[in-house]
Structure 1
Amino acid sequence: MKNILPLSVLMVLVSCKKPDIKTDVPDCIEQKISKLYNDKVQNPPAKVYKWEVDGEVYYLFTADCCDQYSYLYDEECKVVCAPTGGFTGGGDGTCPEWQGEVVETLVWEDDRD
């Protein structure tokens, strides 16, 4: 008898595409990016940036459209704050007051149509 994968397993393997992430990220951040990649394209398309500041690493996920917050996550995928977005565009006002300069690197951008 031939070994055949069940249809449900095959559908999962085919439907879950992997995004092209430009650098190593924690597993939980990769899972968040994969979810974005397998959902409908946002308007504007989603981007994820790595922020390095004051010896810490964070990940900024851009917002989907109008007046929504762009959330910043730590390496354990805990929300730190929303540095941008919202009605004023200035975020939620809860971000730490960093001493150093934020070094921003693009990790992933959704280039689908």
Structure 2
Amino acid sequence: MRRLLIPFTALALLLSACQSDVVVNTPTTPPSEGFVSEPDTPAPTSTNTTDPVAARDMRLDSTARPLWLRQRIQSILATRKRNPIIRITRYEYEGQTVYYESAPCCDQYSTVYDVKGQILCHPEGGITGKGDGKCANFDKRKANEQLVWQDPR
């Protein structure tokens, strides 16, 4: 076992420092002049670097909503408001009219219905974000977008 030899004067200094009452105070008022540490960061002088995308001007089309769709809307309204809000949009896809219901949140599936209300596929959502794979080309092949309904709450 090695012994640590500390000179007496160093030991006395160390003991006196430990025995003295050291009080640390945090100032609660700013100094009358100067800065406490560094000056505040100035506001940015450059303009925004992202180009804003114009919002799509989609008129709400409430004509000829099939019964199943009206019932689906009522079932959505019977639940709490979602963020982002649910929207139902009509498209032409693979030669037929379809209805796309946006996902209420996160990893949940969006849904594409045929005109009879049968689920065709889930183009987005799930753990991978790529849906169920049954209509992987939906975003590329959908056409004639028409907003049918969005949650008004």
Give the TM-score normalised by structure 1: 0.70
Give, in angstroms, the shift of residue 105 of structure 1.
1.2
CA distance in 2 between counterparts of 1:97 and 1:66 reads 21
CA distance in 2 between counterparts of 1:75 and 1:56 reads 8
Q: Which of these residues, 67, 85, 101, is aligned with residue 45 of structure 1?
A: 85
Bigger fraction of residues in strand: 1
Query: What RMSD in Å do the two structures reach over aligned CA positions?
Result: 2.3
Query: Would the alpha carbon gap of residues 93 and 100 (structure 1) be closer, same or farther in structure 2, given more than 3 Å must change?
Result: closer
Equivalent residue for 2:24?
Answer: none
Q: Which of these residues, 43, 49, 58, is aligned with residue 98 of structure 2?
A: 58
Equivalent residue for 1:71?
Answer: 111
C-alpha distance after superposition, 1:19-71 (max 9, x if no partner): x8633221101110121123211121111011113431111111111111101
Aligned residues: 93
Q: Which has the higher contact order (CA 8 A, sep 6+)?
A: 1
Determine if contact 2:100/2:113 at 8 Å carries over to the other structure.
Answer: yes
- Which protein is bigger by CA-based radius of gyration? 2
- Structure 1 gaps, min length 5: 1-19
